[in-house]
Amino acid sequence: MLEEASAASDVAALAALASQHPQSQYNRAKYGEHGSPVPYAPLSLHLPEQFRQLRIRQRLTSQAHPWSPALPTTPDHFFPHPTLPDHPPPAAPNPALKNSVSHPINISTIVPPDLIALVASHALLSPPDRPTILDLPPLFSLSHLSTFPESTSTLLVGNFYLSSCPGKKGLFRSPSLPSCAQTSTVRLDGPVKGRNGVCRDLDTDMRRMRALGVRCIVCCLDDAELEFLGVPWQEYEHAAKRIGLDVLRLPIPEGLPPLSPASLDVHLVDLIHRYTLQGFPILAHCRGGVGRAGLIACCWMIRLGLCGSTIPPQSEHGLGNSSQQVLSFVETAINIVRERRSLKAIETYEQVKFLVDYVEFLWYGVPTPQEIYTPV
């Protein structure tokens, strides 16, 4: 009975950090000080069979080769920035329809651009046995930085960006709209709850990413979800190759985390050494760039060392062998992403639990299932 009470308490503590929790900062901002009237039930605990089926699908879609490299290096002038007209067309078919010109894709930076040089100037490469790749003084972790002096550094650190799915489209049933909106099969059937429809251009969105220096996109969507958003994988891959963007595919069902901390860590270490430490930014996206992509951003910060590199000794009680200090550490990472991207970032109990388990995996070597990770 005591063990059950402790487990329930641990679940409650983790669920409270999810943006879907009724009392989350996101829901209090949306519904008022009392939060959402809808209770929150973690999928893995209340619908375990549905969760298991999603995990099986995730494992199957992850078995394909994850990398899609860009074409051989081409000078940047072959990829000019998209030109915007001086004046809008005289008869726009529907001003309520968002596109890549009227509403350039919203790209959020994890490290404020003005601070990236300061972080790099105080960073050292950690020894191989350390859980973080960089060793930063505590005062230079992202949660402490607010002002900055002029800084120079021989160490290059590329930033991390978040965005929604490039080229995403939403369906309007109107004969006056562009063909891309007519043929899309996305769930946005006209304005929903005050939000406009979407008809983004894949090339324009990806060129905007490339213009920011991005060299690699982490795509958290599988083929079916890309198709659902009006961006078939074949078109996505072709555009990325032409524009000079490598793509790493980490398909994750909505609301869920990666398959396991260990499997994600292999990719993160590769990304950090191949891009971040070469000074090249990485961009991650899911559907909206807050939940799944936000989780990848948290793990990138943690692994790189931007949230600090010291965790207190492991506790033997509560939170499934993790301490309250670990939970506080994870909350710090979540808050950074929410500040930089959206209060909605890190949406579910399963995603919060994954972050706790990822920290335990890095610092304490706590093993987790390699194929179908279940947050219990």
Task: Kindly list the domain boundaries of the chain, sorted by start residue.
Answer: 2-81+93-364
Asked if pLDDT for residue 87 goes beyond 50, the answer is no
pTM value is 0.84
Pick the range with the lowest mean pLDDT from 32-46, 77-91, 245-259, 296-310: 77-91
User: Is pLDDT larger for residue 284 or for residue 366?
Assistant: 284
Q: Please tell me the distance from the alpha carbon of residue 352 to that of residue 334, in angstroms, as a whole number.
A: 9
Between helix 2-15 and helix 349-364 the angle, nearest 10°, is 100
Q: Are 262 and 362 in contact (CB under 8 A)?
A: no
Residue showing tokens 């072709």: 238
Distances (CA, A) of 218 to 161, 184, 223, 252: 10, 23, 14, 11
Q: Are 166 and 148 in contact (CB under 8 A)?
A: no
Q: Rounded mean pLDDT of 103-129?
A: 84
Q: How many CA atoms lie within 13 A of 40 on its CB side?
A: 23
CATH class of the 2-81+93-364 domain in this structure: alpha beta
Predicted local distance difference test score (pLDDT) of residue 195: 57
Pick the range with the lowest mean pLDDT from 37-41, 140-144, 371-375: 371-375
Tokens of 28: 């209090």
Q: Which three-class secondary structure state does DSSP give residue 158?
A: coil
Integer-rounded Cα Rg, in Å, for the chain is: 21
Q: Please tell me the distance from the alpha carbon of residue 93 to that of residue 176, in angstroms, as a whole number.
A: 6
Q: Please tell me the distance from the alpha carbon of residue 304 to that of residue 272, in angstroms, as a whole number.
A: 7
Q: Rounded mean pLDDT of 28-44?
A: 94
Asked if pLDDT for residue 5 goes beyond 80, the answer is no
User: Is pLDDT larger for residue 341 or for residue 72?
Assistant: 341
Predicted local distance difference test score (pLDDT) of residue 373: 47
Tokens of 168: 């995403």
Residue showing tokens 């992850």: 62
Give Cβ neighbours of residue 254 (< 8 Å, ≥ 6 apart): 225, 286, 287, 291, 292
Tokens of 70: 């860009």
Q: Rounded mean pLDDT of 332-336?
A: 94
User: Is pLDDT larger for residue 292 or for residue 72?
Assistant: 292
Predicted local distance difference test score (pLDDT) of residue 172: 42
- The percentage of residues in the chain with a pLDDT greater than 70, rounded to a whole number, is 74
Asked if pLDDT for residue 22 goes beyond 70, the answer is yes
Categorize the per-residue pLDDT at 184 as very low, low, confident or very high, splitting at 50, 70 and 90. very low
Question: Across all residues in the chain, what is the average pLDDT?
Answer: 81
Asked if pLDDT for residue 183 goes beyond 60, the answer is no
Pick the range with the lowest mean pLDDT from 90-99, 213-222, 325-334, 346-355: 90-99
Asked if pLDDT for residue 168 goes beyond 60, the answer is yes
Pick the range with the lowest mean pLDDT from 27-41, 123-137, 153-167: 123-137
Q: Which three-class secondary structure state does DSSP give residue 162?
A: strand
